[in-house]
Amino acid sequence: MPLNLQENLPAIELLKKEHIFVMDSLRASEQDIRPLRVVVLNLMPLKITTETDLVRLLSNTPLQIELEFMKIKGHTPKNTPIEHMKKFYKDFDYMKNDFYDGMIITGAPVEQMPFEEVSYWEEVTEIFNWAREHVTSTLYICWAAQAGLYHFYGVPKYDLPAKMFGVFRHTLREPYLPIFRGFDDEFYVPHSRHTEIRRDDIMKVPELTLLSESEKSGVYMVMARGGREFFITGHSEYSPYTLNDEYVRDMNKGLPISIPYNYYRDNDPALGPVVRWRGHANLLFTNWLNYYVYQETPFDVKDIKNLGSL
């Protein structure tokens, strides 16, 4: 089934060039199917790029999905046309009485600020609280993952000595959970961040389950409330050239930045990237939609382990 999007969303034309089938809301209304309702709180600076990255992954499922975009009322983005925001995004106030099957909350370029000093902290935590009552399952990505873990569970973040930047190998701690169905024992994920959360802090909180980590990039995925919440520190949704664009941007600004780890062929920017994460990124989003958004079944880790041993 296709992904239902608002008419004229830029992602539609971009993804048609990749032979990904999406359709606008008018055509979707002609089908007698109740789609899954998914809302995205997009806090990333390049809104259209992030929209396209997420639509690409959400479209890779037999489920029909109706996608909406939410924005922070008290923040005006600098890198996206106002016309685009007015046409495709709604303030939280207009959506807070609705219910959704799934929600995705993205990263934001504020990770080196204390949480409480972020200008929209009060509104974003109100949305976090709202999601617990109005959304079946929520994916918190990068800064949002750190913010959600801090807000709900008191997990701190720590500054890194250098930016965690590149494509890192990860392993599974809970391989029998449905979120990892089809995953290999090792898989790769892009990371791009200046701060981290630490496994020792996660392990102190009984309500949290550490699902996946990396020897080099640390904690990757944490689950809470039986899969009602996933906190993901990396960027599985990144397109092939996103890390390259960030690298060139920082180089041009004269910022201290290293070549992205394990990203370019032969570690040479002139040779372009080697995409190592696309397959598992598609599995991640498909499994989340199918087993935690669509089926609405909470998964207890102990029960899954027992089933896996049969």
DSSP 146-177: HHHHHHHH----EEEEEEEEEEEEEEESSTTS
Report the pLDDT value the prediction gives residue 2, as an integer from 0 to 100: 55
Domain that holds residue 88: 3-234+277-305
Where does the pLDDT of residue 310 fall: very low under 50, low under 70, confident under 90, or very high at 90 and above? Answer: very low
Where does the pLDDT of residue 191 fall: very low under 50, low under 70, confident under 90, or very high at 90 and above? Answer: very high
Distance, CA of 54 to CA of 103 (rounded, Å): 12
Identify whether 111 is a catalytic site residue: no
Residue 272 belongs to some domain of the structure: no
Where does the pLDDT of residue 299 fall: very low under 50, low under 70, confident under 90, or very high at 90 and above? Answer: low
**Identity (one letter) of the amino acid at 262?**
N
**Identity (one letter) of the amino acid at 150?**
Y
List the CATH number of the domain containing 122. Answer: 3.40.50.880
Handedness of CA 65, 74, 239, 157 (dihedral sign): negative
Of 300 and 236, more confident: 236
Distance, CA of 92 to CA of 105 (rounded, Å): 13
Q: In 147-168, which positions are buried (b, 16+ CB within 10 angstroms) versus exposed (e)?
A: bbbbbbbebebeeeeebbbbbb
Distance, CA of 10 to CA of 7 (rounded, Å): 9
Residue 265 belongs to some domain of the structure: no
Residue 150 belongs to some domain of the structure: yes
**Of the listed 170, 191, 235, 280, which one is catalytic?**
235
DSSP lists the bridge partners of residue 204 as none
Report the pLDDT value the prediction gives residue 74, as an integer from 0 to 100: 66
Domain count, the chain: 1
Report the pLDDT value the prediction gives residue 224, as an integer from 0 to 100: 97
181: left (phi over 0), alpha (psi -120 to 50) or beta: beta
Q: What is the mean pLDDT of residues 232-249?
A: 95
| pTM as predicted | 0.87
- Are 95 and 75 in contact by the 8 Å Cβ rule? The answer is no
Q: In 190-203, which positions are buried (b, 16+ CB within 10 angstroms) versus exposed (e)?
A: bbbbbbbbeeebbe
Identify whether 196 is a catalytic site residue: no
Residue 226 belongs to some domain of the structure: yes
Report the pLDDT value the prediction gives residue 308, as an integer from 0 to 100: 44
Report the pLDDT value the prediction gives residue 252, as an integer from 0 to 100: 94
Residue 270 belongs to some domain of the structure: no
Residue 243 belongs to some domain of the structure: no
Give the chain's mean pLDDT.
Answer: 87
Strands 135-141 and 158-172: what pairing? unpaired
DSSP 118: S
Residue 291 belongs to some domain of the structure: yes
Report the pLDDT value the prediction gives residue 60, as an integer from 0 to 100: 77
DSSP 54: H
For residue range 25-64, what is the model confidence (pLDDT) as tens digits?
444 444 556 789 999 999 988 888 888 889 888 887 778 8
- Are 70 and 40 in contact by the 8 Å Cβ rule? The answer is yes
Where does the pLDDT of residue 22 fall: very low under 50, low under 70, confident under 90, or very high at 90 and above? Answer: low
Q: What is the mean pLDDT of residues 107-132?
A: 94
Q: What is the mean pLDDT of residues 69-73?
A: 89
DSSP 63: S
**Of the listed 142, 174, 213, 280, which one is catalytic?**
142
Residue 259 belongs to some domain of the structure: no
Identify whether 151 is a catalytic site residue: no
Neighbours of 10 (CB within 10 A): 15
**Of the listed 68, 174, 229, 237, which one is catalytic?**
237
Angle between helices 47-58 and 278-287 (to 10 degrees): 70
Distances from the Cα of 156 to the Cαs of 3, 159, 167, in angstroms? 36, 10, 24
Q: What is the mean pLDDT of residues 58-77?
A: 82
